[in-house]
Structure 1
Amino acid sequence: MRDLPYEIFTNIFSRLSIKSLFQFRCVCKTWRDLLTDPHFIKQQLNRSSETNISNPNLILNCGSNLCHVLYSIHNGTWDDKPVKLDLPFKLSNIGIVGSCNGLVCLLGFSRVYDVIVWNPFTRDFNKLPYAPLKFPGRTVSRFPVMGFGYSPSKDVYKVIRVIYFHVDRTWSSSCSSLVQVHTLGSDSWRRIGEIPFEIRDWLSGVFVNGALHWIAIRSSRPDTIVSFDVGNEKFRKMPQPYFGDDGFQSKLEVLGGFLCMICTYYDNRVKIWVMKDYGVKESWIKQFSISQPMVIGNFKCLKPLGFTKSGEILLEMHDRKLVLYDPERKIFRNFTIRGVPDWSEAGAFIGTLISPEACS
């Protein structure tokens, strides 16, 4: 191996699974130095994104515990048993804010909000500084809207937090907002003003194409897709598909690397739209429609996690159960991972060697 040119050596290693790379760091000092080199880490990330070698894994939130399932959605294979993650930090009531480039952002909420960015494979983590919220007058605030993303142009990772509050401690009073951003590698949160939209519920932002996305409302219908560019820290409206009908609730997710909108109708149908050309209204296409089979349950909280090699879609349903849906034959089948509670919240992420401590 020592006689191989460096370019060939790194090319071979960048094609290996993240599980193998993590083990190979313990072989010798030369391999450890290579596998912790920032240039190689970025090369491995780029190859994983381009060729889909490092298929998304599942991370399962079981309330106060996290389990990691080395499940390759694309190949349809998984380890015999899920691995209970031994967290190198303490969090209560864990929520998954989002994942990006192998880093997972977690929110612990009890008396205060703890935010941690963590790599489940390397176990490196970065606990963000605590930032007490100060509001004018006597106010009451909602649960924070969160988001985690990466700016390729500036090579930085950021966490955004939006707090809505009402003055005079009354929910009927006017609503104001506080927007804060933390850049990994800094030691504080920055306030960047207000947001001219009211983000619905407290859903975490969906990260696509260097921006976070939410469903928001203004004083009138219809709902609006609002995006936050992680690089320039600007909010803007995004074009929506032409639905041709109404009577549904919408939410945003990611499917196959594209921004998608899930429309749940009151007669228990679901239509999933995908934006094939980012930012272009005409590029929205209706990927498929699903009619609700009674044996599956309703689609209120449906979340797509990815495609299998055979073209099936792995979905998380409203009761946190996983199912596989074949859009060609329009057939559902249950998907069970042994040893995992049925009520686990699932999230998909790719495996990388990126350290949140080294992000600047």
Structure 2
Amino acid sequence: MRDLPYEIFINILPRVPIKSLFRFRCVCKAWRDLLTDPHFIKQQLNHSAETNISNRNLILNCGSNLYNVLYSIHNDTWDDEPVKLDLPCKLSTIEIVGSCNGLVCLLGYLNRVYDVIIWNPFTRDYKMLPYAPFQLPGRAVSRFPVLGFGYSPSKDVYKVLRVIYFHVDCRMVSSCRSLVDVHTLGTDSWRRIGEIPFDIRDWLSGIFVNGALHWIAIRSSRPDTIVSFDVGNEVFREIPQPYFGDHSFHSKLGVLGGFLCMICTFYDNHVKIWVMKDYGVRESWIKHFSIHQPMVVGHFKHLKPLGFTKSGEILLEMHDRKLVLYDLEKKRFRNLIIQGVPDWSEVGVSIGTLISPEARS
């Protein structure tokens, strides 16, 4: 290896599977220094992001346990047996808030107290965010927190957003107020940045796309809208929705092929998925595909797109703990069976990187 030119050596290592890279840190001091160097870690991250379309690490939430499964889209198979992940601390219930650049944000409950944890499931490094109880005014009654986890490329920082809604007067719906806090990885506290003039409908996780978090929200008596939070500038904005024509449906947001998408479930049990090709431009929304097979698939209420395969099929999570591949041309489904995993409630998608949860701002 000492005779191998450094340029070739540094070009090979980012292509090595993440589990091998993690072991290579024990080879010698020189390799450890290289594999912990921020420049190399970013190079490996860029390569993982580019090849994410081919290999997806699916994290299955089983209530108080998480399992990792690597699906190889080239071979349409699971590359390995499901692996039970070692959680950084004991928790009675887990929610997956989101994943960004290989870091997974978890909301964990234990004895009615919740903790927010940033965790790299491959290196097993984690960061438990400082506990910050809700300082609500008066005799307020709190709702569940709205959370989001994202990254600002321009400022090279990771942030967690927390929105707490509360009622100052429990008898009046109009008395609903909010508090917005932000935690930047590398700091030791939360910052209060004000209020939000929207009532976010999805109580937990924001959809991270294009440097911003997104939710479906309500503002006064106006129809549902898409609200975004720019992770870098910490500003809330409204994102234009498609021209639907028909509003009798249930909507939710997702990510498909790196684009913001909207899943519209109609009451006759069919679904339309829209994709925003040019971020922020209403005219760029296109109806990507529709599904009309309720007898085969079941109810679409919890349908979640997870990504494309090499052949153009779409990997979907269904409401009844099923993973299916949908062929857009043939309009057919086929099930993906995962052996060796207990009942799971949700699926997260992650990539393998060496990014540390101790990232400094």
CA separation in 1, counterparts of 2:303 and 2:266?
12
What is the CA distance between 1:75 and its match in structure 2?
5.0
Q: Which residue pairs with 1:164 in the alignment?
A: 165
- Given residue 329 of structure 2, which amino acid in structure 1 is its aligned partner? E
Tell me the distance in 2 between the aligned counterparts of 1:53 and 1:321.
20
Distance 2:166 2:293 in 1: 38
Match of 2:243 in 1: 242
Shift in Å, 1:344: 3.6
Kept in 1, the 8 Å contact 2:104–2:118? The answer is yes
Paired position in structure 2 for 1:271: 272
Matches within 5 A, 1:191-270: 191-270=192-271
1:316: which partner in 2? 317
**How far did 1:152 drift?**
0.5
- Correspondence list, 1:32-111, <5 A: 32-52=32-52, 55-73=55-73, 75-110=75-110, 111=112
- 1:226 corresponds to which letter in structure 2? V
Aligned amino acid, residue 101 of structure 1: N
Higher mean C-alpha deviation, range 140-149 or range 6-15? 6-15
Distance in structure 2 (CA, Å) of the matches to 1:344 and 1:143: 19
Distance between the aligned counterparts of 1:76 and 1:180, measured in 2? 42
Alignment deviations for residues 165-211 of structure 1 (CA, whole Å, 9 cap, x no partner):
00133463510000000000111000000001110030310000100
* Paired residues of 1:292 and 1:299 also in contact (CA < 8 A): no
Cα deviation for residue 91 of structure 1 reads: 2.1
Which segment drifts farther, 180-189 or 241-250? 241-250
**Which stretch shows the higher mean deviation, 14-23 or 129-138?**
14-23
Residue 305 (structure 1) aligned with residue 306 (structure 2): yes
Give a deviation string over 1:2-21, Cα, whole Å, max 9, x none. Answer: 23333321111112222222
- Distance in 2 (CA, whole Å) between partners of 1:299 and 1:51 is 29
Q: What are the within-5 Å matches in structure 2 for residues 132-143 of structure 1?
A: 132-143=133-144
Q: TM-score, normalized by length of structure 2?
A: 0.95
2:328 aligns with: 327
TM-score for both structures, normalised by structure 1: 0.96
- Taking the aligned partners of 1:359 and 1:78, their CA distance within structure 2 comes to 35
Q: Could you say which residue in structure 2 is the equivalent of 1:147?
A: 148
Q: How many residues align?
A: 360
Distance in 2, matches of 1:40 and 1:348, equals 23
**Aligned counterparts, 1:95-134, within 5 A:** 95-110=95-110, 111-134=112-135
Secondary structure of 1:294's counterpart equals helix
Q: Give the Cα separation in 1 of the matches to 2:228 and 2:164.
A: 16
CA distance in 2, matches of 1:292, 1:179: 41
Runs (4 or more) in structure 1 with deviation over 4 Å come to none
Q: Deviations over 1:240-266 (max 9, x none)?
A: 111122200110000111100000001
Q: Distance in 1 between matches of 2:80 and 2:196?
A: 46
* Distance apart, 1:113 and its partner CA: 1.7
Q: What is the Cα deviation at residue 80 of structure 1?
A: 3.9
d(CA) in 1 for partners of 2:360, 2:119: 11
Q: 1:140 and 1:319 mapped to 2: Cα distance?
A: 33
Larger CA deviation: 314-323 vs 155-164: 314-323
Matched AA of 2:3? D
Instruction: Give the Cα–Cα distance (whole angstroms) in 1 for the partners of residues 181 and 44 of structure 2.
Output: 32
Name which of structure 1's ranges 3-12 and 234-243 shifts more when overlaid on structure 2: 3-12
- In structure 1, what is the Cα distance between the partners aligned to 2:42 and 2:255? 23
- Per-residue deviation, 1:71: 2.1
CA contact (8 A) 2:169 2:175 kept: no
Match of 2:181 in 1: 180
Once the two structures are overlaid, the 10-residue window that deviates more, 28-37 or 50-59, is 50-59
Cα distance in 2 for residues equivalent to 1:172 and 1:358:
41
Partner of 1:22, secondary structure, is: helix
RMSD after superposition? 1.6
Does the Cα contact within 8 Å between 1:69 and 1:83 map onto a contact in 2?
A: yes
Cα gap change, 1:342/1:89 in structure 2, threshold over 3 Å: closer, same or farther? Answer: closer
User: How many angstroms apart in 2 are the aligned matches of 1:186 and 1:54?
Assistant: 35
1-structure distance, mates of 2:75, 2:167: 49
**Unaligned 5+ runs, structure 2:** none
Q: Structure 2: which amino acid aligns with 1:353?
A: L
The answer on 1:5 being equivalent to 2:5 is yes
Question: % of aligned pairs identical?
Answer: 82
